[in-house]
Amino acid sequence: MRRFCLAYLSALRTPNSFLCKHNPIPGNLFTVARIQHHLIPHFTIASFCSNATAFDSSLSDVAKFYATIMDNSNAYDNMEKSLDQLGLPLTTPLVLDLLQRLSLEEKIAFRFFTWAATQPNYAHEPPAYNQMIDILSSTKYKVKQFRIVCDMLDYMKRSNKNAVPVEVLLLILRQYTEKYLTHLQKFAKKKRIRVKTQPEINAFNLLLDALCKCSLVEDAQALFKRMKKRVKPDANSYNILFFGWCRVRNPKRGMMVLEEMIQLGHTPDNFTYNTAIDTFCKAGMVSEAAELFEFMRTNGSTTSSPIAKTYAIMIVALIHNNRMQEGFELIGHMINSGCLPDVSTYKEMIKGMCLAGKIEEAYKFLEEMGNKGYPPDIVTYNCFLKVLCDNKKSDEALRLYQRMINVGCMPSVQTYNMLISMFFQMGDVDGVFETWQEMDKRGCANDIETYCIMIDGLFSCNRVEDACLLLEDVVNKGLKLPYPKFDSFLMQLSAIGNIQAIHKLSEHMRKFYNPSMARRFALNQKRMSTRLRGKKPIMSKTLNLIKTNASNPKVLIVAGITVAGFIVLAETSRRRRKAVIFNKEDFGAFLERFELIPFPQPPPPAAKLPLSDLTFAIKDIFDVKGYITGFGNPDWQRTHEPADKTALVVTALLKNGAKCIGKTVMDELAFGITGENKHYGTPTNPNMPSNVPGGSSSGSAVAVAAELVDFALGTDTIGCMRIPASFCGILGFRPSHGAVSTVGVVPNSQSLDAIGCFARDPSVLHRVGHVLLQLKAAERRRVGRIVFADDLFQLSKVPKEKTVYVISKAIEKLSGYQPPKHIKFVQYIASNVPSLKGFGQHSTNLQNGISTLKALSSVMMSLQSYEFKTNHEEWVKDAKPRLGPEISDRVRAAINTAYENVKDLYKVRTEMRAALQSLLKDDGILVIPTVADSALKRNSKKGYSAEFHDRAYILSSIASMSGGCQVSVPLGKHEDCPVSVSFVTYHGADKFLLDTVLDMYASLQEQVNIASNSEPLPDANDMDASELLKEKGNAAFKGMQWNKAVKYYSEAIKLNGTNAAYYNNRAAAYLALGCFQQAEEDCSKAISLDKKNVKAYLRRGTARESLLCYKGALEDFKYALVLEPQNKVANLAEKRLRKLIT
């Protein structure tokens, strides 16, 4: 890119240069030279021009140029020669107009731009450069590239176009180094401190920072020495240099800088001192570190006195250098000074002792932790154990393991992984298998890391058969191997010639990885190597430029841009590679990883905290102190500050012993239900990798389903937790509206928002639910009666044998439950929520029940849109966020809609809550399908169809609009898709619901296994008897005795299941009863037996339309018209459905 820019700038001075030749622009240019709009704003370059000419060119000349360019725009056309033949003069306004017209054709625009630069009597003005940069940066090749900016500015300066203001160049430099500021600048930014210094100082500091980050501290020090007489350095300048020397482990030079800093009246803070002490200790200069520490204690101010971290650094260093007594004395000073050690401090001390070989002292520290009210947790023990295992101290490691068992701290899978790895390193295979058996004995499930360690170790010990058996176990369990391990195991299998195992493992891994991944991995390694080799000469040129022009501030700034740019590119590439690997490991669930340590366990005899040893993740809608809440959108994150406090619900979980390990991906602004996010990607559904996970709490659901955490927090507005829980096959709990505090949570719609949780284990869900709801431990009571909403199960495509039947059988096995009750739920709602009539759809084809449900869901959507507009209209208009297609349409509709019936919306909500309370009384639980359809394919256009959303919202509107609580319960699979039902009850009955789910769950799963293994009964075949039954069914149908008709037709089908007429007639009876799902299934069976059965197509179209499957219904009516072109029913239905779809 640099060679091209130099040649290009040379061409501007020499008309007969190579740019006059008729060669197309190289393709690789457009994969590199792209600049984001936000990096170089319009005023950055345009403001350099003092006499910008207004547009007044002839439209005819512009039209001629444009026509010539487009007629010769192909790579093999001689566009330049054709433009020469026009013989028309060029002006800056004409060029600007043409570039504007060619803004979507970046290659053609750049060909014209380079040709124009060679024309006599014309030279590009700054507005032309600005326009060209904008065109390049607006293409799909959005790669941040800084070198073209440097060369453009350098050329403008050398050609005396205009003087480039220092302030403008400084702005560019800041934009490149914004994410790589020094520690003090980060602190100032977080605390909203604005340092009012002159531009030269800021430029100088940023350049020093860039050099230090490149480990060129000597050059930075030399530059500082030359420039400090011209530009007075500030505290930031000294801090940058000090950190630079610490980074390269030269504490003596750093201390010289620190002494000079203090002499000039700049006071270092405790962060600066901590860095110095840590550097001294790592360099083996413990006495010097101790002197500096003593200086902090005796002479330090409020901002520079020792903190817990300072003490921990010194104590670890003293212990490491066999100065145990001094270390223990320092602990006493620490406590006496009021600086109490926390869990992290104890962990660092124990780790330091272990590394120093002071095992007995480390055990004493474990006891000290318990005595001080900080009993060691599994993380502390694992930290201790890792040091012992790394040093192959098997006896001490087993001793520590036994201690963990004795004190009731159950080992985690990481504990066993470390022990297994240690035994393999020692060649003790018997110890490996004993540890493996101990895992099974303790009920600790093996994770993929355990399998990888075992297989690797067995191959290294020549236990090939055992390794192959474990690989087969990995395949059978459907576990995903990390790609490097997969590649390593293939090599091992190839070495032993096990071709069958290679094919089997490759076929298994194809479900998780793209077939071309190996090739891309190799290419990325090669590119990274090439980039690293290519950096050195350019960096050397930059340093030479600094040395020869040290007195010129503008040259310093341009050089600073170059150095900072290299840092940006290197860091961006590193993070991108890290992000790719990270997403493979965490299913794309996590947006940001961090650890929030739980509150310490109370000392004995107090009970153990209810959530101790549990990990959880939170949706990117909850505030965490010091982190920006992203709300699923980068523009929201960009326009908001880090949170001052952590959300109350997160703090409550931490207080009860749970540990938070990060934030998860969500749908933008909590608006979607598919789980797709165009900015951060779609988390991978562990149960169905090619399907969406559901949203908006997609990342939280995936993190639980993938066993990355024990539970996860999310929010539910219109099904945002229940839908992903169903699609991922886990438990999802939406509490009653207002039951959990929303302080510290970004609102979407306050009247519908509820904070809930996901879990795999019902006991975990029960424990977490009690903490969220702040419930006291009390005896559980069982539910009195289950109420099935039969009409809602008509919407589901899952057979009732796998839902209603399973629950009924489970109830029979449990004592204390009444026989279940069956109701027509939507008829009850239509009668008891009168305000819904004003929102009903005027369609004679839709059954009354379905139209009532759709009216309820439309009220829910209107209420959400109204409250979202109230909350965020100002931000949307100011920030103009970039949103995905579906979210953009919904946000635009919410903002632009005028809401006139707001009171009616809230009235429906009030009536709905009262109706559900009246139906269920105090002992009833309503059972409904969680979703109507299975999860869509990823990146499917159906994700944005009205049909999918309508059917989903109908079911989720019940709990959302009533404010009731709901638990989505997984019930196995149907056609490889997870099946779930939901238990719903009235507002305030959360404990009652959680108790019921915990009580029934085991019995439900037992019945699921029985149902999945059962086989259908064989059909009989008796023609005469079946015809007689069909005639009886016809007579019952004419007498409007539809239930009897269904009974007779069913008996006929049992005798003869090959007659399409029987299925067709039963479908007509089901339609009359409003059983649309059964009607659709019967029509499909009839069509499979008789492809030209027009009635079957008409009836299936009617059933599908009633189920809101508009596209499928339209296809049926179209096919009926093919068979009978004059059919009026089909003709009218087709027209009606076309209007609904469009």
Sheet with 731-734, strands from edge to edge, namely 590-596, 659-664, 615-619, 711-716, 754-759, 731-734, 965-974, 977-985, 924-929, 785-789, 821-823
Query: In the block, which residue shows the tokens 């200790």?
Result: 281
Range in 63-72, 948-957, 980-989 the model is least confident about: 63-72
- Give the confidence band of 153 by pLDDT, cuts at 50, 70, 90: low
Alpha-carbon 731 to chain mean position: 20
CB 887 within 8 A of CB 668: yes
The answer to whether residue 843 scores a pLDDT higher than 70 is no
The answer to whether residue 409 scores a pLDDT higher than 60 is yes
Token couple for 789? 């909403």
Residues 943-970 have a mean pLDDT of: 87
Return the bridge partners of 294, or none. Answer: none
The predicted-structure confidence for 525-543, as pLDDT tens digits, reads as follows 445 544 444 444 444 444 4
pTM beyond 0.85, yes or no = no
CA nearest to 304, candidates 333, 256, 279, 271: 271
Average pLDDT of every residue of the chain: 77
- Give the confidence band of 816 by pLDDT, cuts at 50, 70, 90: confident
- State the pLDDT at residue 430: 82
Residues 1042-1066 have a mean pLDDT of: 89
The answer to whether residue 801 scores a pLDDT higher than 90 is no
- Give the confidence band of 780 by pLDDT, cuts at 50, 70, 90: low
Counting beta carbons within 10 angstroms of the beta carbon of residue 482, is it exposed (0 to 12), middle (13 to 18) or buried (19 or more)? Answer: middle
CB 125 within 8 A of CB 155: no
Residues 723-740 have a mean pLDDT of: 95
With b for 16 or more beta-carbon neighbours within 10 A and e for fewer, the 707-726 pattern comes to ebbbbbbbbbbbbbbbbbbb
The answer to whether residue 268 scores a pLDDT higher than 80 is no
Return the bridge partners of 618, or none. Answer: 663, 713
The answer to whether residue 1018 scores a pLDDT higher than 50 is no
CB 723 within 8 A of CB 929: no
The values of phi and psi at residue 318, to 5°, are: -65, -45
Counting runs of H as helices and runs of E as strands, what totals does the chain give? 50, 11
- Mean pLDDT comparison of 46-60, 596-610, 786-800, highest-scoring range: 786-800
Residues 771-797 have a mean pLDDT of: 80
The predicted-structure confidence for 426-446, as pLDDT tens digits, reads as follows 888 888 888 888 888 888 888
- Give the confidence band of 833 by pLDDT, cuts at 50, 70, 90: very high
- State the pLDDT at residue 624: 94
Range in 549-553, 597-601, 1006-1010, 1116-1120 the model is least confident about: 549-553
Cβ atoms within 10 Å of 318's Cβ, excluding its own: 23
H or E element in which residue 716 lies: strand 711-716
Please tell me the distance from the alpha carbon of residue 86 to that of residue 99, in angstroms, as a whole number: 18
The predicted-structure confidence for 596-605, as pLDDT tens digits, reads as follows 989 888 777 7
Please tell me the distance from the alpha carbon of residue 536 to that of residue 567, in angstroms, as a whole number: 13
Range in 457-461, 587-591, 726-730, 766-770 the model is least confident about: 457-461
Contacts (Cβ under 8 Å, ≥6 apart) of 876: 891, 895
Contacts (Cβ under 8 Å, ≥6 apart) of 166: 199, 200, 203, 553, 554, 557
Please tell me the distance from the alpha carbon of residue 227 to that of residue 229, in angstroms, as a whole number: 5
The answer to whether residue 188 scores a pLDDT higher than 50 is no
- State the pLDDT at residue 837: 84
Asked if the peptide bond before residue 376 counts as cis, ω within 30 degrees of 0, the response is: no
According to DSSP, the β-strands at 965-974 and 977-985 are antiparallel
Range in 72-81, 223-232, 519-528, 622-631 the model is least confident about: 519-528
The answer to whether residue 1019 scores a pLDDT higher than 80 is no
With b for 16 or more beta-carbon neighbours within 10 A and e for fewer, the 220-257 pattern comes to bbebbeebeeebebbbbbbbbbbbbbbeeebbebbbeb
- Give the confidence band of 43 by pLDDT, cuts at 50, 70, 90: very low
- State the pLDDT at residue 48: 36
The answer to whether residue 915 scores a pLDDT higher than 90 is yes
CB 795 within 8 A of CB 955: yes
- State the pLDDT at residue 726: 95
The predicted-structure confidence for 158-185, as pLDDT tens digits, reads as follows 555 444 444 445 444 544 444 434 444 4
Range in 57-71, 107-121, 427-441, 536-550 the model is least confident about: 536-550
CB 8 within 8 A of CB 19: yes
DSSP-derived 3-state class of residue 384: helix
Alpha-carbon 1110 to chain mean position: 32
Counting beta carbons within 10 angstroms of the beta carbon of residue 681, is it exposed (0 to 12), middle (13 to 18) or buried (19 or more)? Answer: middle
Range in 48-57, 407-416, 465-474 the model is least confident about: 48-57
The predicted-structure confidence for 459-516, as pLDDT tens digits, reads as follows 888 888 888 888 888 888 888 888 778 878 877 887 777 777 887 887 777 766 554 4
Percentage of the chain lying above the pLDDT 70 cut: 74
The answer to whether residue 744 scores a pLDDT higher than 90 is yes
Range in 6-15, 115-124, 515-524, 951-960 the model is least confident about: 6-15
- Give the confidence band of 157 by pLDDT, cuts at 50, 70, 90: low
SS3 content of the chain, % helix, strand, coil (to 5): 60, 5, 30
Query: In the block, which residue shows the tokens 């928002």?
Result: 753
